[in-house]
Structure 1
Amino acid sequence: MTTPPAGPQPNEEHRTVTPETVYELYRRLREALPEPETELLYDSPYELLVAVTLSAQSTDESVNRATRELFPVASTPEAIVALGEAGLKPYIQHIGLYNNKARNLIAASRKLLEEHDGEVPRTREALEALPGVGRKTASVILNVAFGEPTIAVDTHIFRVANRTGLAPGKDVRAVEAGLEAVTPAPFRLHAHHWLILHGRYTCTARRPRCGACPIADLCAYPEKTPENT
């Protein structure tokens, strides 16, 4: 999961859309994908924590390739701590920033064992107190593992929110606040996944597939054309 850059973006001055348009936008995304899910592989909140931590500035595909080998060997805080950094790194060395991620995962696992009986906490404050866990990672854990209606803004969601006019903002926190303000309650739980998957496969960075987009007529992006397919 890649972090979007801070600072002004070219489409941040787009008009905002009306509440009726916002509802219809989400309705269409839900119609296209009624039960969206993360593409990260996991079988427990702890495995999800590991996967999301590894996904920073990396692709889900590369993370899944690592965890397919790692989780059969070490899928609990105890097992990860027992591996140690030297034992963990060979599993994740093809992932960006793997040295820092290995260090953080060992430290976070120790903290889970010492302060949370080895369980992943269910509050933002406790999650963000874990080494290597920031607001975005905490939001993903709360949403995916515990069913909280949080919205974690990565580079895809940042792009979609600005392009469409759904929640224009200069930085991640502005976009997050905007999405939380405009997203209707019936769509809050899955909003994160609808937007990230839309950005990953349709509203792509270099060549958005506007001709194949189910919300193109609702979108404020001025540069969309039917040829963008």
Structure 2
Amino acid sequence: MNAAKRREIFSRLQATNPHPTTELEYQSSFELLIAVILSAQATDKGVNLATRKLFSQANTPEKIWALGEAGLLDAIKSIGLYKTKAKNIMATCQQLVEHHNSEVPRTREQLEALPGVGRKTANVVLNTAFGEPTIAVDTHIFRVANRTGIAPGKNVQTVELKLLKVVPKEFRHNAHHWLILHGRYICQARKPKCPICNINSLCEFKEKTTDVP
């Protein structure tokens, strides 16, 4: 795929959704961090249902630490892997209080040092909370990047690095959200909605669908 085609793809995605953002509900960088930790192998809808309950009780590192692991487990038990996530969240809250003045750190290295925070989670927080032009490659972005030909790669890190290289600078900050939303609602895994896709004519996917599911 050439640069002109990629630029047009992102121009069209921007025209459709000028101000994309995450579908996770949050009011602070800390709430976003916790929501993203919870979102691993879970839907945003499911996470939002849990965090509405959790954040109404505890929405700071100190308050979650005071809530205790039992209280945290009760709030997030509807989410997959909730026991592991609860342990990570409690440990992360302790580190934030003891080492970061209860603030979410703004560097990748410090974020990835927190329990339960990997590269993808750090990228989401850096992008959405702090405005950094990072791209967190989840299953949706990995699929869209490969299927369309925007940035094909065999693993998520290869796709991430390629996207950071080929996405035009003016689109880089929002590329993460555009690609996730496109994969979630249009370029779906089992049967992409090619007939209603606004980048259909630019996409290099050879097995386009001809009817809308």
Does TM-score exceed 0.5, indicating one fold? yes
| CA shift digits 1:168-199 (9 cap, x unpaired) | 00000010011011000000010000000000
- Separation (CA, whole Å) in 2 of partners of 1:101 and 1:83: 15
What's the counterpart of residue 63 of structure 1? Answer: 47
Q: Contact (CA 8 Å) 2:191, 2:209: kept in 1 or not?
A: no
Secondary structure (helix, strand or coil) at the match of 1:56 reads coil
Letter in 2 for 1:96: G
Aligned-pair CA distance for 1:72: 1.0
> Is structure 2 residue 159 aligned with structure 1 residue 188?
no
- Separation (CA, whole Å) in 1 of partners of 2:199 and 2:147: 12
- Separation (CA, whole Å) in 2 of partners of 1:170 and 1:57: 20
User: Which of 113, 131, 151 is residue 115 of structure 2 equivalent to?
Assistant: 131
Secondary structure (helix, strand or coil) at the match of 1:218 reads coil
Aligned-pair CA distance for 1:226: 2.4
Aligned-pair CA distance for 1:225: 2.9
What's the counterpart of residue 62 of structure 2? Answer: 78
Percent sequence identity over aligned pairs: 61
What's the counterpart of residue 85 of structure 2? Answer: 101
- Separation (CA, whole Å) in 2 of partners of 1:206 and 1:168: 19
Which blocks of at least 5 consecutive residues in structure 1 are unaligned?
A: 1-16
What's the counterpart of residue 6 of structure 2? Answer: 22
User: Which of 140, 161, 167 is residue 156 of structure 1 equivalent to?
Assistant: 140
Q: Contact (CA 8 Å) 2:192, 2:209: kept in 1 or not?
A: no
User: Which of 26, 44, 48 is residue 32 of structure 2 equivalent to?
Assistant: 48
What's the counterpart of residue 8 of structure 1? Answer: none
> Is structure 2 residue 75 aligned with structure 1 residue 91?
yes
| CA shift digits 1:54-96 (9 cap, x unpaired) | 0000000000000111101000000011111111001110100
Aligned-pair CA distance for 1:228: 4.2
- Separation (CA, whole Å) in 2 of partners of 1:84 and 1:187: 42
> Is structure 2 residue 35 aligned with structure 1 residue 33?
no
User: Which of 171, 176, 191 is residue 160 of structure 2 equivalent to?
Assistant: 176
Q: How many residues align?
A: 213
- Separation (CA, whole Å) in 2 of partners of 1:225 and 1:170: 24
- Separation (CA, whole Å) in 2 of partners of 1:39 and 1:227: 28
- Separation (CA, whole Å) in 2 of partners of 1:81 and 1:171: 36
- Separation (CA, whole Å) in 2 of partners of 1:25 and 1:202: 14
Higher RCO, 1 vs 2 (CA within 8 Å, ≥6 residues apart): 1
User: Aligned-pair RMSD on alpha carbons?
Assistant: 0.6
| CA shift digits 1:92-146 (9 cap, x unpaired) | 1010000000000000000000000000000000000000000000000000000
| CA shift digits 1:9-39 (9 cap, x unpaired) | xxxxxxxx10000000000000000000100
- Separation (CA, whole Å) in 2 of partners of 1:205 and 1:80: 36
Aligned-pair CA distance for 1:153: 0.2
